[in-house]
Amino acid sequence: MEHNDSIISQFSLQAVPFAELPGHSQSLDMLVQFSGVCAGDTVLDVACGPGIVTCEFAKHAAHVTGLDLTPTMIEEAVKRQQEQNLTNMSWHIGDVLPLPFPNAHFSCVVTRYSFHHFLDPMAVLLEMVRVCKPDGRVMVVDAVLPSEKIHAYNRMELLRDPSHTKALSFEEMAVVFGTSGLTDIRTGRYKVEMELEQQLAASFPLSGDKDKLRQMFQSDIGKDAMGVGVHRMGNEIRFAYPILVTVGRKVG
């Protein structure tokens, strides 16, 4: 409950600026393609946030359900739905453990940028598999890094967002999916480009921690200990979140 309270506190503040950051609307076409979503699919978007992925998938599926713990995020998602005149959607406020849906209820279950907030990502993935129909697809999209860069990256992200728990390494994500029972596992990668001050303006760290983050990024230029490729472009400090897309099929 304490961790959930931290998530709700952070993302009640982040709801609007999160949705407005340009990097969060990138690569949607790739996610649609990777998931294989089509006109007959019923989709669940776990930890849907402001509904960016949910609304995009609704343009391709029969029906899409968005679930999020933070009421303010669902409010933003409903606004996005209305702006895009989408009617094949429904929203739920709730937790991921357990997911509040019956077994084998959806043909496609996705989550984006959420795994690093879960205390037990393996348990969440198994819940996603549970509510997925046989022969359906389960897709996880999140920042994943080489094991030697995980510690520095997690230290930075926890400072930026106190509701962060732990990003997984490539090896850890492979183990999670490899023991989930899913088959035909495929992966893809992309990067979300960010400008540091723009990202900090959309973040709500503890008092004084923004200056610590600026120093952290400054000192990582040319080193890349955090795995985000920090570099200068004119007067800006820029970096990129390394995103891994992992999708598997539930055995029929």
pLDDT tens digits, 147-179: 999 999 999 999 999 989 999 999 999 999 999
What predicted TM-score, i.e. pTM, was given to this entire model? 0.93
Question: Is 235 domain-assigned?
Answer: no
Q: What percent of the chain has pLDDT over 90?
A: 85
Q: Taking a C-beta distance cutoff of 8 angstroms, is the pair 26, 241 a contact? A: no
How many structural domains does the chain have? Answer: 1
pLDDT of residue 18: 61
pLDDT of residue 7: 72
Question: Is 214 domain-assigned?
Answer: no
Question: Is 79 domain-assigned?
Answer: yes
Rounded Cα–Cα distance for residues 227 and 240 (Å): 9
Q: Which two tokens stand for residue 174?
A: 């492979």
pLDDT per residue as tens digits for the range 196-224: 999 998 888 889 999 999 999 999 999 99
Question: Is 76 domain-assigned?
Answer: yes
pLDDT per residue as tens digits for the range 42-90: 999 999 999 999 999 999 999 999 999 999 999 999 999 999 999 999 9
Question: Is 115 domain-assigned?
Answer: yes
Question: Is 229 domain-assigned?
Answer: no
pLDDT per residue as tens digits for the range 96-141: 999 999 999 999 999 999 999 999 999 999 999 999 999 999 999 9
Which CATH number is 50's domain given? 3.40.50.150
Identify the domain containing residue 115 by its residue range.
Answer: 2-144+165-189+243-249
Question: Is 210 domain-assigned?
Answer: no
Averaged pLDDT, 185-202: 94
Question: Is 200 domain-assigned?
Answer: no
pLDDT of residue 13: 64
More confident residue, 22 or 44: 44
